[in-house]
Amino acid sequence: MEKVQSIPTQIVPARTDIYLEGPKPRVYELKFLWRVCINFFRGFRTLHFVGPCVTVFGSARFKPGHFYYEAAVTMGKRIADMGLTTMTGGGPGIMQAANQGAFENNGTSVGVNIVLPHEQQPNPYLHKSINIDFFFVRKVLLVKYSYAFIIMPGGFGTMDEFFETLTLVQTKVINDFPIVLFGKEYYQPLIEYMNYMATKGTISEEDMRLVLLTDDTNEAMQHISKYISVNYKVKKRKKLWWLFEKN
């Protein structure tokens, strides 16, 4: 497959004080709403035909050769073997690794990149990529098209994505979507604290049913395959010429 260039987005310098100013003029708010709508519209247009995805989250800081980087490459390859699309945040590190695995195994590789002040570039293993201005829009797109989620070791962003996805499962916004936490040593303290939360009654033990903690890519793929084969049927989407949807 040939790589597809990402859709360019103008990068606007970030203002750190903007949220301290309170409500903005109505024209400003209208422009903000318009930008959000345009981001969603472009995302829907770009990703409508990517097929059922598995989203891989993880740190942007791991380099090739690191254990977790190479594990993510394997994950991307296994996702391609299942006939599913590998979706990531489109950046470096774990995201690049998962895209690389899919790309090199003749699978479909997709990235939803975020526009940052330091200009995060899409990684080179993407068949389709889009740049998004807002983190919340990006997270919606990363969840909307996926049937399962793999959470590799990561930092604040990865934790944000993991807990938001888990909250959607907990509140039945999305049902029976398997979540894999990959990296027992890394995530064991987090699992222990979540079990502690269950003992305090702030979450239910049932909430953890779909979360698998593992170091084994085979076990991870079996966990995902079990739920997908039972719960999901893929509907073929027809492209409409009058909407300029190209084959």
pLDDT digits (tens, 9 = 90+) for 147-164: 999 999 999 999 999 999
The predicted model gives 94-117 an average pLDDT of: 95
Write out the two tokens for 149: 């989620």
Give the Cβ contact number of residue 168 at 10 Å: 16
Global pTM value: 0.88
Comparison of pLDDT for 222 and 233, the residue scoring more:
222
Confidence of residue 217 (pLDDT cuts 50, 70, 90): very high
Q: What is the dihedral of CA 67, 69, 71, 72, to 10 degrees?
A: 160
Contact 129, 3 (CB under 8 A): no
Percent of the chain with pLDDT over 90: 67
Q: What is the pLDDT of residues 10-69, one digit of tens each?
A: 445 555 556 677 788 899 999 999 999 999 999 999 999 998 999 999 999 999 999 999
The predicted model gives 188-192 an average pLDDT of: 95
Q: E strand or H helix at 101, and its extent? A: helix 94-104
The predicted model gives 198-213 an average pLDDT of: 87
Q: What is the pLDDT of residues 119-141, one digit of tens each?
A: 578 899 999 999 999 999 999 99
The DSSP 8-state label assigned to residue 212 in this structure reads E
Distances (CA, A) of 121 to 72, 130, 239: 19, 11, 30
pLDDT at 11: 47
Write out the two tokens for 45: 């247009």
Write out the two tokens for 13: 């310098």
pLDDT at 60: 94
Mean pLDDT, the chain, whole residue set: 88
pLDDT at 9: 47
Between 23-27, 83-87, 88-92, the lowest mean confidence (pLDDT) is in 23-27
Distances (CA, A) of 39 to 44, 123, 179: 9, 20, 27
For the chain, the distance separating the N- and C-terminal CA atoms, rounded to the nearest angstrom, is: 14
pLDDT at 24: 84
Q: What amino acid occupies position 138?
A: R
Percent of the chain with pLDDT over 70: 89
Secondary structure percentages of the chain, helix, strand, coil, to 5: 45, 15, 40
**Closest alpha carbon to 128 in 152, 102, 162, 154:** 102
Write down all domains in the chain, each with its CATH number in brackets: 21-233 (3.40.50.450)
Confidence of residue 169 (pLDDT cuts 50, 70, 90): confident
